[in-house]
Structure 1
């Protein structure tokens, strides 16, 4: 009797089941997601970033020294490129710059890094102005 009862209930219990295809849409715009999500994701990443760069403020004297070195190098570069240089040795603190006028066809600039001892030599042809 129970089996008949189940056969009678089976048509009543079966109903139509609908299914759709699963589709994946990425969130990250780098992988094809909506470009409007970019700023949101960047903000979330930056808020979770615990890394902080070690910033040491340079003192006035250090900034002044760096400014003097930059000005010296700029003026030396300009005078060499204009052909109005004087041969000699210039010490910028971190580098020793030697301008050699021994070759009649070329201007030789030798730069020595004081900390590492590395020497770079630049040979520039003379330009008649």
Structure 2
């Protein structure tokens, strides 16, 4: 009797299936219907809330503010092209100093490259960069 019970237990075949991973987050291939739920959880956990006035002033998107940002961007781009041409262009000087606003860029050519010192005159902070020159052999 005991032998029959043991053989019947051992004789039963076990069934299983492959484990398939399914991500929850839609950013990683999960179900797109989970996005509203996940964003709700993230917003509830967010401890970095901004006050209304600082958030509104920082992210102002009026046409005038957009125009000012684009104008500043284009002027800085033009200025950076002029500085690049003065330092690395065809008629580049061996050393020099470029001043605009509170920024002073001093540069000098050496054996290893062009050494730049960018100084903020209001707080005295400096950034030094050495740009290696191309050595054609």
- TM-score of the two chains, using structure 1 as the length reference: 0.47
The answer to which structure, 1 or 2, has the higher relative contact order (CA under 8 A, 6+ apart) is 1
The higher radius of gyration belongs to 1
